[in-house]
A and B are shown apart, each in its own frame.
Chain A
């Protein structure tokens, strides 16, 4: 075993990493504590001090102060998790929050202990999200929060449930909470105006708690009928956790059995008021009437508008198909809806002028949601909207203008988040890149035509070559099976047979049709450094490429990438997979203009996601850039960016995409093999080659 490092050795390392010369951190005590450890532990702690220091030196110092003590008491894995948590907190909430986390290390270790057996939200959420969608009703979202509650649109669950020893039971309890909160929405608990009813009592807070108790009993009875298996879990878990009813509540429970509605609970509230306080059951969560009211207020008008507009569309559609329909045109179409709850499923029968019509899925969803708010479909919701009655902004989901969020205060609305690989930390930075898709401003000029003229002979050649690739139908001879008899083979085989040798059974011809099934995304560098020749060459290359690809029939998309800092990573749509190649796309190619910097990881990750959503046998991601990744005043410059890009390419490869990189940076050969590790790549020495080469590279890539 290697000898432990001495105190002086450690101190000099720390001096260097923590920049003691400038920061004056007192590393002496840390070194003293560390020199007593064995070499493995020393290496582990020092490695992590170094890694955290790449995020922030003060944070690393705080880690260093505590680590020597922790390593003697806890597992290395737990300490590693704590270090990552420190960095994550710093990323997300800044220095003060991170220092709080550092100070509260005891809590974290306690929590980690719970996490060993606890059900974590991040583990349960993917399963429970689908579980809740599978139950009927409004599609509720799951979110993580401090406690369990719902506002009728989302279900909030705590980060960790650790009431039991076993993880399975903790998961069951989380599931019970989710199902119970779902039941509040589904069976009308949130429909009533609880706040004003409770306000009539001397102590509204207590009244609300008692009401919650009544509803808990009612919904438990409802679940016993609707989901007996779940109810068995509720009883078992509740029993183990000591759930019990206070005196007098059992009688109320009986009266709330079976088919009771929320009105029955409200009617019983005066009785409940005189009983002892309801003892909350383990799975009931909390009531949050303010959040419910806020969500409902925001929802009602919007859904009314949406439903009425949809119905108007339906009415028009139906009338167009049946010009001789019963109702004359001057009479407004009359919808009626009847709900059918008998199957444990919410179903609606919709009629138009007395004739049953099948509502499309979105209308069904709206009807369900409205029904959950009112317990019926109010007649005024069924009046089809008149022309221009509503501002489309009210009923359309508007994609917010990606530029607008930069005016005024900063927020991350409507953006996607991508992680980034931090080489110093050897971990991902979660939700690090704030990514938005934007449009390239189309420029309608003669650029596309000029390019085609300029490269006319090449275009002709490319078209020809690509057309030749289109159908690789080959007539395979001498097959055991096929559409036609291969006469040559048959004659030979018969001759063989006469000759006494064995007769071949390969007597048929088979037409082999290789259908191309390729989707490709092109990711084009739009950073400031492409200004001038490179930009020109890129645009020309894209025009030629599109001309060639159109011959081939592969599905393709083109995106430009650029950004400035992690908060503003931008992908520019030039052509999406669904879009045809036309004047608009040509104008967007013409409109590609150099923007800011070259952060690459997020772009690769986002395009990988888009590619994986496309159905194809082969998926290819081609990046076209002019050099090494770089960003404004940011660690992205240098090895960090190279490592992140490399990681993103590895991820793409793992998800089944074939990445391929084209680079025009002739000075950069040293880092390319490493960065493109997972990908194949080609370096072009001369920008002028780009237009001629790109299509040709693609052809060879997919041949």
Chain B
């Protein structure tokens, strides 16, 4: 089978993504969308922010355009730039511009990774102006009512350099995400990784053990996503201790003592 090539505008999510609501986040997002307010998703990595966006895109039937931000992302990367084609310069829209044009949902993942000057271009889109200035074209692109801007950010980074500026964050409706409660997380792991409930239960317990280590050597405990990874390996016949080591421990730390400790934890549990 060939990989399917989609342009961002046509990236509609056709079938319902699996999503377990934690609180009233769906209602809040819908209300924000209706009122044309941008949304900020806060929470640790791998707790379901991106899945939530896919779910909302499906629910609202809008195309979802995701941009993973990195520290070299410039404003032109979002808005667009001139390229050279056959001796002529041609304007090419960036993902943000495309989303505005088609009235899609533009999701800027891990926005703090982007440089501070880049973040500023979203400001006019994120308040009641809802317009994207395209300086190089000398145009102002006004968003339709369908357009929605969402950004995500992980407040757990203890870095002064990676904090969201007040002028940015105060434009958004904030939704806070955290790891789901044990009961829910068990259900998610069982459902996503296709493991039996007893194994899901042990995986969730294991996750809690690593989360206990947050602050005493780990920056972040095991996320739900990592649990699902480990569960999938286990479902394919990998030994649970090995699966936890490869899918979880190695993913959260490089420190040999910590790796050994996590190995001992999983060896004790399974």
Q: Which residues of A contact B (CB under 8 A)?
A: 126-131, 133-136, 139, 175, 179, 227-230, 233, 343-345, 347, 361, 483-485, 490, 494, 497, 507, 511, 513, 517, 615
Contact = CB atoms under 8 A, between A and B. Distances in A.
Contacts of A497: 87
Nearest to B212: A134
A497 to B, nearest CB: 7
Contact of A130 (B74, B76, B81, B213): B213
Contacts of A344: 205, 208
A187 to B, nearest CB: 15
Interface stretch (B3-11, B123-131, B148-156, B260-268): B260-268
Interface of B: 74-76, 81-84, 87, 89, 115, 136, 159-161, 182, 204-205, 208-210, 212-213, 215-217, 241, 257-258, 260-262, 264-270
A131 B263 CA distance: 9
8 tightest CB-CB pairs across the interface, nearest first? A130-B261, A230-B268, A126-B257, A483-B76, A134-B209, A227-B268, A127-B260, A131-B261
B264 A127 contact: yes
B74 to A, nearest CB: 6
A695 B195 CA distance: 63
A117 B207 CA distance: 33
A507 B83 CA distance: 9
Given A134-B261, A175-B264, A229-B267, A343 B205 contact: yes
Given A484-B136, A497-B87, A513-B115, A345 B208 contact: yes
B209 A135 contact: yes
Contacts of A136: 208-209, 212
Nearest to A127: B260
A485 B257 CA distance: 51
21 contacts: A126-B261, A127-B260, A130-B258, A131-B264, A133-B212, A136-B208, A228-B270, A229-B241, A229-B269, A230-B268, A343-B204, A343-B205, A343-B208, A344-B208, A345-B182, A345-B205, A361-B215, A484-B81, A484-B82, A485-B82, A485-B89
Nearest to A517: B161
A380 to B, nearest CB: 28
A497 B76 CA distance: 28
B208 A615 contact: no
Contacts of B260: 127
B174 to A, nearest CB: 15
Contacts of B208: 136, 343-345
B84 A511 contact: no
A169 to B, nearest CB: 14
Contacts of B258: 130
Nearest to A616: B161
A504 B204 CA distance: 56
A229 B268 contact: yes
A498 to B, nearest CB: 9
B131 to A, nearest CB: 21
A83 to B, nearest CB: 29
A311 to B, nearest CB: 22
Given A127-B257, A131-B261, A494-B87, A229 B212 contact: no
Contact of A134 (B75, B204, B257, B262): B262
Given A133-B212, A483-B74, A484-B82, A615 B270 contact: no
A135 B267 CA distance: 12
Nearest to A498: B87
Chain B CB within 10 A, most for which of A126, A133, A490, A615 = A133
Given A134-B210, A345-B208, 20 more contacts: A126-B257, A129-B261, A130-B216, A130-B257, A130-B258, A131-B265, A133-B216, A133-B217, A175-B268, A227-B268, A229-B241, A230-B269, A343-B182, A343-B205, A344-B205, A347-B182, A483-B74, A485-B84, A511-B74, A615-B159
Contacts of B213: 130, 133-134
Contacts of B136: 484
A211 B241 CA distance: 35
Contacts of A127: 257, 260-261, 264
Contacts of B217: 130, 133
Nearest to A344: B205
Contacts of A494: 87
A27 to B, nearest CB: 46
Nearest to A136: B212
